[in-house]
């Protein structure tokens, strides 16, 4: 091997780890380059959503299931964290963890009957769950504050430093987002990730190879609910104000479009999808009236041209193309 080959080999072997490090470095430097709190606020929102989108992508892209109600878990996380800190004065970190635990347990109980359902029935059940949660948030005035929501949620703090401006929240949110991204990439590359991908593509064959299909689905569902809950808690402590409007079925559908556009079963795709959908309205400021149409057109165009989403679809396309050219070269 020449030194050049060695470098190339090193880059190929460690491409995932190096990409994560590169992303981390860029994000570390980002606030010094862009000190504009408005722009930081947007990238912070991407970080918060990314955590939930990665979980949802594991559920849709890997376990091959459909969920049109993940904003409900986002909402449960946000309201759980908010209520615990406002009423009991609990440490926000502890509140976040307790809420995630409770949501994890709830989703486990919900998963057992829900995941017996398939296809359209599962779509309905998850939608229904979201509508139930949203209506309770809207109507249970004494507890949830109804349509006006809850204000005065205490911010998180790290080593006595309150995370109360965009710059600080940038570092906190992206640290957590990169941890989740890394965990997601690890899972996707592991044998277990392979088993999950197998479940999504052919359940009978997966079972015949020793993969516990139902258990795999339940675990991924609980993981995705817990991640959504954590994202919701972060959201609540970041904005110190929440109302039910952030947790409607339309938000669930937005989460799904983030997964779909970025790429089913692609963790990096989740980053792309979340960024695109959150940045889109900023670019479309001038055409406020055309916003939904353009948003929908992008989803539809991506799905028609690359049904697996941008990242997964392009990856497949490039791989097949390069293999085909190799095959032709051999002949």
Partner 1 sequence: MPTLTDFLQFLFAGLTNGAIYALIALGFCVVHNTMGIVNFTQVDLVSLGGMFLYSALFLFGLPMPLALAGAVAAAALSGMAVERFGIRPSRSGNHLVLIFLTIGLSVILRGIMKLVWGKNRMAVPPLTADEPIRLFGATLLPQILWIFLLTTAAVILLIWIFRHTTLGLCMRGVASNPAAAAVVGIDAGRIRMVSFAIAGAMGGLAGALVTPITTLSYDVGVLLGLKGFAAAILGGFGSFGGAIAGGLLLGLLESLAAAGLSSAYKDVIAFGLLLLVLFIRPQGLFGAGKR
Partner 2 sequence: MLKIDGISKHFGGLPALEEVSFNCREGMTTALIGPNGAGKSTLINCIAGSLFPDAGVIHFQNQRIDGLPPHQRPYLGISRTFQNLALFPRLTVLENVLTGLTPEAEQSFVKSLLRLPATRHRERLLRLKAMAMLDNFGLTDKARWPVSILSYGDRKRVEMARALVSGPRLLLLDEPVAGLNSAETARIGAEIRRLHGAGLTILLVEHDMDLVMSVSDHIVVLDGGRLIASGAPEEIRTNPRVIEAYLGRMSVTA
Q: Which residues bind partner 2 (CB under 8 A)?
A: 183, 186-187, 189-195, 197-198, 201-202, 204-213, 219, 223, 265, 308, 316, 319-320, 323-324
Judged by CB under 8 A, which of 289, 328, 330, 331 binds partner 1?
A: 289
Report DSSP letters for 29-96, one per residue: HHHHH---HHHHHHHHHHHHHHHHHHHHHIIIIIS----S-HHHHHHHHHHHHHHHHHHH---HHHHH
Pick from 290, 318, 58: nearest CA to 188: 58
- What single DSSP character describes residue 165? S
Query: Minimum Å distance from CB 310 to partner 1?
Result: 14
CA distance 246 to 56: 17
For residue 210, the partner it binds in partner 2, partner 1, none, with Cβ less than 5 to 8 A by kind, is partner 2
Interface region with partner 1, contact rule CB under 8 A, candidates 8-16, 92-100, 274-282, 301-309? 301-309
| Interface with partner 1, residue 257, by CB under 8 A | yes
210: left (phi over 0), alpha (psi -120 to 50) or beta: left
| Interface with partner 1, residue 283, by CB under 8 A | no
Could you tell me if 270 and 258 are in contact, meaning their C-beta atoms sit under 8 angstroms apart?
yes
| Interface with partner 1, residue 208, by CB under 8 A | no
Of 281 and 307, CB closest to partner 2: 307
Of 176 and 280, CB closest to partner 1: 280
Query: Minimum Å distance from CB 37 to partner 1?
Result: 30
What three-state secondary structure class fits 230? helix
| Interface with partner 1, residue 304, by CB under 8 A | yes
| Interface with partner 1, residue 272, by CB under 8 A | no
Judged by CB under 8 A, which of 139, 202, 322, 325 binds partner 1?
A: 139
CA distance 289 to 23: 34
Task: Classify the C-alpha dihedral 19-25-28-30 as positive or negative.
Answer: negative
Pick from 43, 35, 49, 57: nearest CA to 77: 49
Query: Minimum Å distance from CB 58 to partner 1?
Result: 15
For residue 323, the partner it binds in partner 2, partner 1, none, with Cβ less than 5 to 8 A by kind, is partner 2
Pick from 108, 263, 274, 272: nearest CA to 188: 263
Query: Minimum Å distance from CB 67 to partner 1?
Result: 11
Query: Minimum Å distance from CB 302 to partner 2?
Result: 17
CA distance 195 to 187: 10
Of 236 and 256, CB closest to partner 1: 256
For residue 88, the partner it binds in partner 2, partner 1, none, with Cβ less than 5 to 8 A by kind, is none
**Residues in contact with partner 1 by the rule CB under 8 A:** 60, 64, 66, 113-114, 116-121, 123-125, 127-129, 131-132, 135-136, 139, 249, 253, 256-257, 260, 264, 289-297, 299-300, 303-304, 307
């Amino acid at each position: 091997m020449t030194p050049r080959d060695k470098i190339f080999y090193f880059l190929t072997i460690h491409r995932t780890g190096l990409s994560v490090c590169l992303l981390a470095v860029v994000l570390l430097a980002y606030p010094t380059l862009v000190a504009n709190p408005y722009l930081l606020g947007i990238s912070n929102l991407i970080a918060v959503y990314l955590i939930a989108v990665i979980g949802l992508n594991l559920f849709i892209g890997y376990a091959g299931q459909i969920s049109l109600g993940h904003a409900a878990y986002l909402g449960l996380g946000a309201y759980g964290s908010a209520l615990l800190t406002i009423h009991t004065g609990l440490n926000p970190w502890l509140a976040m963890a307790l809420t995630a635990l409770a949501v994890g347990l709830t989703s486990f109980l919900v998963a057992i009957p829900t995941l017996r359902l398939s296809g359209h029935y599962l779509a309905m059940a998850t939608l229904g769950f979201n509508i139930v949660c949203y209506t309770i948030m809207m109507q249970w005035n004494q507890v949830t504050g109804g349509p006006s929501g809850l204000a005065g949620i205490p911010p998180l703090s790290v080593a006595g430093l309150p995370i109360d401006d965009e710059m600080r929240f940038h570092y906190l949110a992206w640290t957590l987002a990169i941890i989740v991204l890394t965990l997601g990439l690890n899972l996707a590359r592991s044998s277990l990730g392979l088993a999950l991908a197998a479940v999504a593509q052919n359940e009978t064959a997966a079972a015949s190879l020793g993969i516990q299909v139902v258990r795999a689905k339940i675990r991924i569902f609980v993981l995705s609910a817990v991640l959504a809950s954590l994202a919701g808690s972060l959201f609540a402590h970041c904005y110190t104000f929440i109302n039910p409007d952030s947790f409607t079925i339309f938000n669930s559908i937005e989460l799904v479009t983030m997964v779909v556009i970025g790429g089913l079963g692609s963790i990096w795709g989740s980053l792309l999808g979340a960024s695109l959908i959150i940045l889109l309205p900023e670019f479309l400021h001038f055409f406020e009236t055309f916003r939904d149409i353009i948003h929908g057109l992008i989803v539809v165009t991506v799905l028609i041209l690359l049904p697996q989403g941008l990242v997964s679809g392009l990856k497949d396309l490039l791989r097949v193309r390069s293999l085909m050219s190799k095959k032709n070269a051999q002949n």
